Chains A and B, each alone.
Chain A
């Protein structure tokens, strides 16, 4: 798989190198124009996929950033006489900065995902268009750039533009490639699958989205800058258009949105098809044919032509080999009873409902603390607050001397707190191995390769080595729960928060899970677990804390605590306690 992917990029770059010399041969200008339009669309589609395909944030704003680049070049060249080539990076940077400014506001809101983000970008396109059209930048009548001097990189002006477009396309594809196989790219894919879980697993989701948006917009800006001079005339409706993002989306969906080469394949196919149709006898029939072909392809290959290869199934031995490669042992169990986590007077309300009230609790290093209580007593909320999924209303949460309350979830994860979800939330489009590798890579801050090695170790530990290349949807509930364990352990946490890991398991599976939790603690990890299965709570816990109506009503050694009259009253009613 790795060999194919490197050869793929090499082939693309060799192709680009060969195409670079085309203008030297003096072919009819038609060919250069045709290839130019392919390069144009490859760059636009590849830039779109970095945010839209990888991170799943569909943007209709390509036209806006394209327009920013185009009008930057138009203004700088025609008003101030700045050389054209200098204006391209300026346009790209400006487009990127505007994206950062927009993203800084929009990406903070959890509600603005999916279609609503698409809508925001659509609105921004129209707003920028209206502003440009009503100010001297355009003035409503368009801008001519015919007098702009183009440096002679090639024998003809057309050839020069061709070469710049080629370089932009090759650059965009290479950037898409580099991102896909980097930690950053893995983070974007995780954001696509489950953004909340990604944040908890240590991925700085806000920063990553911002960077992806900026890179994507900057490329669009550079293409806009080139296009302004190439066409020689700018008009607002054609520049800040919806057609641009719509075609980009079509190309990416057709070619494959989650693969670096997908947009380039889609762009080439659609541009060739459009060209054939418009040069044919009947342009209307041509347009209809392209539309029909597009509908059919999307229906028949919904994931695109170039889907991410699943690769051959790795054998158990291969994963075991990965696992046995040097993985340092966990630090030895530390049982001197040092306090690791302290919650003081923690409050959390949802609307009028008080989920946590004056919760004060300490967790000692190396212990297993059971959190029990009736449904709705605030156990899961406490886990969510400590892991940073929710922010506490007031109070302090101190982990090994660091105040956690104002940290975001990914920062908390990186300080050594991992959690599992009651209903497993794996990244559904990543393999089991990649799921764990991602968590290792971000939670423990290792590189991609070290992350995979670490992941193989933990799959072995949880008995999932045979399923390394499967997708999470192919696992049963028991295996999905163990995948949650593996994902949490791969971050090498000092504190592990388990949210009802045993629910839904049969008694043999519960025995297996109890043994696993013991092994985890023996490795030196402190465990806090929320559980309803009392047998497991008594068997595992060094201490238990009982919550009721958001308050800690008892805390101490398991047997004694469960006999506490207050606890009996909560569980069995008033009469039994008397």
Chain B
């Protein structure tokens, strides 16, 4: 059994990484729940954003927050463009999985072609920053990721919950024909949402660049966790995705501290299965 300090440190690390999980899963969750596209290309887009942040920071001397100013709107447009293409080509929920998987491989190839398959690390100068709270160290960047994830998740959730646009989007997801009979312009709203999904990927990517090591092959490793986060949090629920991300991050990190790190994947997936079997409806 590890010491209390170690355990506490593990809890902090887990909760913080949960913020990143939440950011990464938000796009998939929203697009699956409200646009009916199971879009796995967001993971590749997040890594594209991460590599661009790395590129700007390392070779052009652009600070990460200025990268965010460039990348978030750019990815928003990219998301809108992608959605427009999908609608024009009549992509369905089923084929979306295949099409976006193909897109993800294309983006991965592009990354590998430009930046090679080698590991890259963005030396931003901030990675060593920590604050000390009692006996525990809190890495500043991870903390910032969690804070951003929380603000974004609450904002998106409230927007969907309380505003006219949000309600219209949810109505359109449930029954597009009925919604349009009541005058909801489903198409225009869905463009807005698709842009937001893609912008989430941009934000996630910036933090991935700051926190993690980059390699094209890393894209696949995040997909499993992200799917678990989406399902546990409830499809189409950004706040749920964040909470599920924190839950999984926490569970993984504590398992790693208590047993061998190799057992960690068991945790998130066991949680997923138990939740699916035991409480199949939570919305």
Contact = CB atoms under 8 A, between A and B. Distances in A.
B5 to A, nearest CB: 26
Contacts of B99: 295, 298-299
Interface string A417-437: 000000000000000000000
Nearest to A109: B280
B223 interface: yes
A127 B97 CA distance: 23
A299 B227 contact: no
B38 A115 contact: yes
Given A122-B224, A123-B228, A131 B277 contact: no
Given A105-B277, A299-B89, A126 B109 contact: no
A134 B228 contact: no
Interface string A289-307: 0111011001100100000
Contact of A285 (B109, B231, B260, B270): B109
A157 to B, nearest CB: 32
Given A116-B231, A127-B270, A250 B38 contact: no
Nearest to B91: A299
A119 B105 contact: no
A298 B102 contact: yes
B188 interface: no
Contacts of A124: 269, 273
A130 B223 CA distance: 17
B211 to A, nearest CB: 23
A253 interface: yes
Nearest to B264: A130
A129 interface: yes
A307 B260 CA distance: 49
Interface residues of B, number: 39
Contacts of A140: 262
B129 interface: no
Interface in B187-234: 220, 223-224, 227-228, 231
A517 interface: no
Given A119-B227, A140-B262, A242-B223, A285 B273 contact: no
B276 interface: yes
Given A130-B265, A242-B220, A285-B109, A294 B273 contact: no
B280 A250 contact: no
Contacts of B32: 115
**Max chain B CB contacts within 10 Å: which of A131, A288, A290?**
A288
Interface in A134-153: 134, 140
Contact of A111 (B89, B228, B266, B280): B280
Contact of B280 (A112, A122, A127, A290): A112
B263 interface: yes
Interface residues of A, number: 37
B98 interface: yes
A529 to B, nearest CB: 30
Given A242-B224, A288-B105, A127 B273 contact: yes
B249 to A, nearest CB: 16
Interface in B87-104: 89, 91-92, 94-95, 97-99, 101-103
Contacts of A253: 94-95, 98
Given A253-B95, A292-B106, A120 B265 contact: no
B262 A130 contact: yes
A284 B99 CA distance: 19
Nearest to B231: A119
A62 B260 CA distance: 27
Contacts of A123: 228, 269-270, 272-273
Nearest to A140: B262
B178 to A, nearest CB: 15
Contact of B266 (A127, A287, A292, A299): A127
Interface string A104-118: 011001011001100
A133 interface: yes
A305 to B, nearest CB: 14
A459 interface: no
B265 A126 contact: yes
A288 B103 CA distance: 9
A249 interface: yes
B113 interface: yes
A127 B271 CA distance: 11
Interface string B239-267: 00000000000000000000010110110
B112 interface: yes
Contacts of A16: none
Nearest to A243: B220
A253 B99 CA distance: 11
A291 B109 contact: yes
A567 interface: no
Contacts of B102: 291-292, 294-295, 298
A98 interface: no
Contact of B105 (A122, A249, A291, A298): A291
A358 interface: no
B95 A284 contact: no
B95 A299 contact: yes
Contacts of B272: 119-120, 123
A134 B273 contact: no
A253 B97 CA distance: 11
Contacts of A116: 231, 276, 280
B281 to A, nearest CB: 6
A246 interface: yes
A120 B106 contact: no
Contacts of A112: 276-277, 280
B81 interface: no
B109 A131 contact: no
Contacts of B265: 126-127, 129-130
A475 B129 CA distance: 68
Given A112-B276, A127-B269, A299-B89, A288 B106 contact: yes
A130 B265 CA distance: 7
Nearest to A303: B95
Interface string A233-256: 000000000100010011001000
A246 B224 CA distance: 13
Given A119-B272, A292-B106, A134 B227 contact: no
A246 B100 CA distance: 12
25 contacts: A106-B277, A109-B277, A111-B281, A115-B32, A116-B231, A119-B272, A119-B276, A120-B276, A123-B228, A123-B270, A123-B272, A126-B224, A126-B266, A126-B269, A130-B265, A140-B262, A246-B101, A249-B97, A250-B101, A253-B94, A284-B112, A288-B106, A291-B106, A292-B102, A299-B89
Interface of A: 105-106, 109, 111-112, 115-116, 119-120, 122-124, 126-127, 129-131, 133-134, 140, 242, 246, 249-250, 253, 284-285, 287-288, 290-292, 294-295, 298-299, 302
Pairs of residues from A and B, 6 with the lowest C-beta to C-beta distance, nearest first? A111-B280, A288-B109, A291-B105, A295-B102, A123-B269, A130-B266
Given A127-B273, A284-B112, 16 more contacts: A109-B280, A116-B276, A119-B227, A119-B228, A123-B272, A123-B273, A124-B273, A126-B224, A126-B265, A126-B269, A127-B265, A253-B94, A253-B95, A288-B110, A294-B102, A299-B89
Interface of B: 32, 38, 89, 91-92, 94-95, 97-99, 101-103, 105-106, 109-110, 112-113, 220, 223-224, 227-228, 231, 235, 260, 262-263, 265-266, 269-270, 272-273, 276-277, 280-281
